[in-house]
Structure 1
Amino acid sequence: MMKKFWSILFAVMVLQICTFLGHSENETKEMLEIDIPDYEVSKTDDGYDEVTIPGGRILSIEGKPLVPYYIVRKWYPQDIEIQSVDLVEKSTLKEETGLNLKTFKIQWGGGNFTDGASSSGSTGWFPEENYTWFVDEESNGTNRLVLIIFPFFYNNMTKESRFYQHYEFEISYITSKISISSIYPDKFGYDVGDKVTINLEISSNEEQPRTLVLAATVKKQGTIVDSLPLVELKDFISSGEASLEWDTKDIGYGMYDIEVELRDINGFVLDRKVLSLTIGKMNVSLINLNVNKESFEVGKTVKFYATVKNSGNITASGYLTVEIRSGGKTIETFSYPFYNLSSGESVDFEGSWETANATENQTYYIVGYVSYDGKTSLPTIIELKALKQQRSTPGFELSLLLLTALFVVLCRKKVFKV
């Protein structure tokens, strides 16, 4: 594990050193000034403070306080490659004491995602970073710079907060005539220990051959967990193919992003692409579906119970669907989401069907299935029979009433007879 850590650190340092030492004649720098709207505070139903920024979002990390953040987007032509985004200044500080923010906590089976309980891992100032950024490619080929700013900092131990409203960034970019035109894996579906081959197609509009370098890092939930060996392409011109290999023997199950950068020998990024893939198998199924009665009187409530289990080896999210069907038609549909269900874990659901509109002597079916990661499990089906609603017989009630009246009369005659 330590060997892998040092190899990752070395690869990242090499890329950074190359970038710092490099020089490009067409490098351009521009300033970006951002004024963030002042935050607003409101009370939740359970008495906590909720801080929001107009046009912003809420940062939701397990065990951390719910704080707002702000996103700025800027579009560039297809041949522009962002090299760096550096924070030059943050100012207009606003400090406050006494805010009581909730801690984010995931609850199984959906419902409310937060509670007020403090987590032992959420002490001190949060978040720790000022900003982060990435570039993605739009469908029309343009490059979109996404700058995520964390202007609001909160200390859940002291209930202090700090908010910076003014930011200045320096953006460095170059014009590139070389691009990664295609990226794809050698197959779909990998298990731990498999070797992953990443194939790339590269094209160039430059007239002179150049030496290029392919570098790649592997991220899981935004954190670098591995790096791939550098690949050098000498005297590259026009178009060609290349490949990178990733050995997953020391990698755990889960979803990963492989970020590939095409650089020149000075370390400048000429193009970048991201390939997302999963190591491990996702398999979620409905292992139990039953009802409290397989025949029911019309108008009575039918309760159903279900259990969903993750039999795969990676965390899964999705939803359970329960349908009431009859005569080839779906009468009613119930949907129950589940989130971040870990390998080997299961979650129980309970629901009810009000049968007031059911038809006597009709056969109904309860059909349950699970949807996740674009897949749907095999359905589980239970057959139900609707019975006639039990009604009291008018003749019987009348006879009982007459007998009761006769009994009262006889008793009175006996009592008052001298």
Structure 2
Amino acid sequence: MIVGETRIIPAFSAKYGDVGKGDKIIEFTDNFYANTAGHEKQPELCIGRIIGNEPERLRTPIEATLGILDGTRDFNQSHALIVSGRPRGASGTATWINFNRERNRIERRIDDNWSHTTELDEPSETEWIDAMVGKDVIHLAAHGWENGMDVLHDTTVRDTWDPGVTAPLVFANSCLTGRYPPTRCLAERFLDKGASAYIGATEVSYGPYCRYLAEGFWERFDVGYTAGRALKEAKRNRMGDTSYAKYNSAIYHLYGDPKLEPVVAPPSEKDVPPPPADNDIQGPVDSVQVKVPMYEVDSYPSGEQEATIPGGDMLLVPGKPMVPCYPVMVHFPAGYQVQDVRLGEHGGLSTDSLNLPITEAAEYDLSTPPQPPDPDDEWFPSEDLQWSIVQEPDGGTTLVIRLYPFQANPSTTHVRFWDTCRLEIDYVSTSVRMRHLAVERGSVAPGETVRWDLAVENTGLKVTDVLVESVIRTPDDTIVGGLPIRRLRSVQGLATLEQEWDSGDCDPDFLTVEVSLRSLSGCLVDRRTAGVTLGRAEAVLDSVVVNPPCFEAGEGLTITATGRSIGERPTGGTVVLGVYNDQGGLIEQLSEDFTDVAPGEPIVAALPYKATLPRGQVTLRGSILYEGVATDVVIWPPTGAGTDGDLDGDGRVGLADFAILATAWLDYIEQADIAPPGGDCRVDQLDLSVLAQQWMSL
């Protein structure tokens, strides 16, 4: 569990290719803390972060969890709430998304474990607040932003929501509501008011991937199955291996104790963790007989029919039909390495005709239109399975097999499905493993040398030769560099090796060093990865300008923030402007994203804003967030050079300065508008008082 925000314990940034409208850079993710073996999507550890800007706010969710344990707060699987928001959001201008579909599917999963489930569709803000009282778990599906979702605003949660005797877990399947830097987000409001945990996204989320992540979480979360474990397993098994899946895995975070789980009193048979699922197998085994559950079909008013396999996953490829698949996990202890997986006999073939939806890679606030199916395709997917290896912290591995028993013909409505198969697994037993892999520096300049070291251990009684194969990959798995294969001779016990790669003309990017160990016969015996960033991304915010500079409440303004990309590779991030009153309270937060701004190019955000207070009672604080860090804050209105009363800049306060102020009396000259700090567009007794005090003090 991480306690504190990024100024205490920093978050990571990451880049994912082919997501939505291009590459996406995630500014804040804790996924790498959980992915100890370097896999971008499949975390090995359960992780949670306690967020809050002050120590007392950090204590609140911890105290809520302790209250569950000592019985002063309820969290006992009695009451659940599921809310679906408006398809186009509260403004009516967002991309149309059917949140009803998610509410219905989540209800079926929550209803199995919670005694009473309440559903709301498009509630008012008051109905929303009232319904969240006395609930153990709350699932919210709607358009969102940092400070709210649909008609629900964070200030309303702050001012009016009281959970009662419960300490609920809130899952917000929405964009940005978990984006805690740089100010307070909706997640923090819920935690401040007594929620025990909150699951939300730090970036814009993509459907339908995030919906399947939520379904995977609620299928698992139960007595004996903690929130951290449920989210970890949902990320590993429910979202596939595409860039979209990796991206969504990285942006959804658990804020709270990862060991949180429902408490049932009196004790029941649920206190015993459920047995492993049929598709979760302990190895080593060389063959597996699999029985795939029969698929289920949900029909919608649009005429679409969605097929799902209980306990399964979805294969989601933009422009292709949404088809269900079925994961099988085989756990191998240390000392074994899988070489190949093949589909043996399969049977139980059945056919049907279904109007499957086409996968649309849609942001939950933006969208990319679905592409029509390729008429030359016959069956999708064309392969029967895919497999991958996940390194575990104990040195073992998990073989993840994604079976594709369900296939669809994109040019017709025909589908086919088989429900039994035998899997043949080739593996080797080995006494060699990689104990350690680490890069010397996590970030290097373009053209510099990337260095790393590794430790190889042979625990066997006989010496052996080991081949070391090292390559450099980009985020889309393109190999951009590599080293000649190195042969380590007569390895026994622990051996170490240092390697280096000249980045030369390689373009700045997020790179991965992948090192594989092989036997002399070519069998893979171990593989590890380590990340390195080639080129520094950096930004600076130079100015914040308001037009018109003098305004009253109700006037429309244009706030322009101007900065620069000053690093060695393109910068992506968000320009953030906070609007504060004269008491320091946040009125509103404005933001605008930017992507791939080349070094030396300007970063400009022109944000419209309707003033709620006149100048003199408003302060703007601007910064640029990029790759897990924030620039220095720029404040508007700026404090002028004459705030000490020296209006003419001659180094002293005297009659000449008084003459400048008198000329502008009850009018506006920026030079003489020195009070309050930043000015109020009027030269009056406030400015005279400052000048007089400085004059008399000298």
TM band (smaller chain): 0.5 to 0.7
Write the distance in 2 (CA, Å) between the matches of 1:347 and 1:49: 45
Return 5+ residue gaps in structure 1 as ranges: 1-26, 389-418
1:99 to 343, 355, 359: 355
Say which of 276, 286, 304 aligns to 1:29.
Answer: 286
Q: Structure 2 vs 1, CA of residues 294 and 114 (structure 1 numbering), >3 Å: closer, same or farther?
A: same
Matched, 1:256 2:256: no
Question: Out of 75, 80, 84, which is 2:340 matched to?
Answer: 84
Q: Which residue does the alignment assign to 2:622?
A: 368
- Distance change in 2, residues 1:295/1:337 (3 Å): closer
Amino acid at match of 1:33: V
Amino acid at match of 1:35: V
Query: What TM-score results when the alignment is normalised by the length of structure 2?
Result: 0.43
Structure 1 residue 297 and structure 2 residue 552: aligned?
A: yes
Q: TM-score, normalised by structure 1?
A: 0.66
| Largest Rg, 1 or 2 | 1
CA contact (8 A) 1:84 1:173 kept: yes
Q: 1:71 to 1:183 in 2, by over 3 A?
A: same
| Letter in structure 1 aligned against 2:621 | V
1:323 CA displacement: 1.8
Equivalent in the alignment of 1:17: none
Aligned twin of 1:321 = 576
Return the match for 2:631 from 373, 377, 380. 377
Distance 2:573 2:310 in 1: 30
Q: 495, 499, 508: which is aligned to 1:240?
A: 495
- 8 Å Cα contact 2:552-2:611 kept in structure 1: no
The residue type paired with residue 552 of structure 2 is E
**CA deviation string 1:107-141 (max 9, x = no partner):** 7xx71334245388996654444333222233344
Partners of 1:262 and 1:270 within 8 A in 2: yes
**Matches of 2:300 and 2:570, distance apart in 1:** 34
Q: Structure 2 counterpart of 1:213, which letter?
A: L
Q: How many residues align?
A: 355
Q: Distance in 2 between matches of 1:43 and 1:196?
A: 53
Distance 1:266 1:347, change over 3 A: farther
Q: Which position in structure 1 is the counterpart of 2:457?
A: 203
- 1-side partners of 2:294 and 2:540: how far apart? 46
* 1:169 matched residue in structure 2: 423
Aligned partners of 1:177 and 1:205 also within 8 Å: yes
* Residue 73 of structure 1 pairs with residue 349 of structure 2: no
**Who is 2:297 aligned against?**
40
1:144 corresponds in structure 2 to 398
**Structure 2 portions without partners, runs of 5+:** 1-283, 638-677, 683-698
Which string of whole-angstrom CA distances, capped at 9 and with x for unpartnered residues, describes residues 253-278 of structure 1? 43333332222223333322112233
Taking a change above 3 Å as real, the CA distance of residues 48 and 319 of structure 1, as seen in their structure-2 partners, is farther
In terms of mean alpha carbon deviation, does 134-143 or 313-322 score higher? 313-322
Alpha-carbon spacing, 1:119–1:98, altered in 2? closer, same or farther (3 Å) = closer
Aligned to 2:273: none
d(CA) in 1 for partners of 2:388 and 2:304? 33
Change (3 A) 1:49 1:38: closer
| Partner SS state of residue 115, structure 1 | coil
1:235, distance to aligned residue in structure 2 (A): 0.8
Contact 2:446/2:534 (8 A) holds in 1: yes
Q: Which residue does 2:531 correspond to in 1?
A: 276
1:114-125 to 2 correspondences below 5 Å: 114-118=368-372, 125=379
The aligned residue for residue 112 of structure 1 is 366
Change in Cα spacing, 1:185 to 1:131, as seen in structure 2 (3 Å) is same
Counterpart for residue 386 of structure 2: 132
Partner of 1:229, secondary structure, is: coil
Identity of aligned residues (%): 22
Distance 1:314 1:297, change over 3 A: same
Q: Is the counterpart of residue 186 in structure 1 residue 440 in structure 2? A: yes
Structure 1 residues 284 and 70, CA, compared in 2 at 3 Å: closer, same or farther?
A: farther
Deviation at 1:215, TM superposition (A): 1.9
Task: Please give the per-residue CA displacement for 1:208-256, whole angstroms capped at 9, x wherever unaligned.
Answer: 2111111234444464525532110111111121134445447444333
Q: Which has the higher contact order (CA 8 A, sep 6+)?
A: 1
CA distance in 2 between counterparts of 1:294 and 1:368 reads 16
* 8 Å contact from structure 2 (residues 318, 370) kept in 1: no
More helix by share: 2
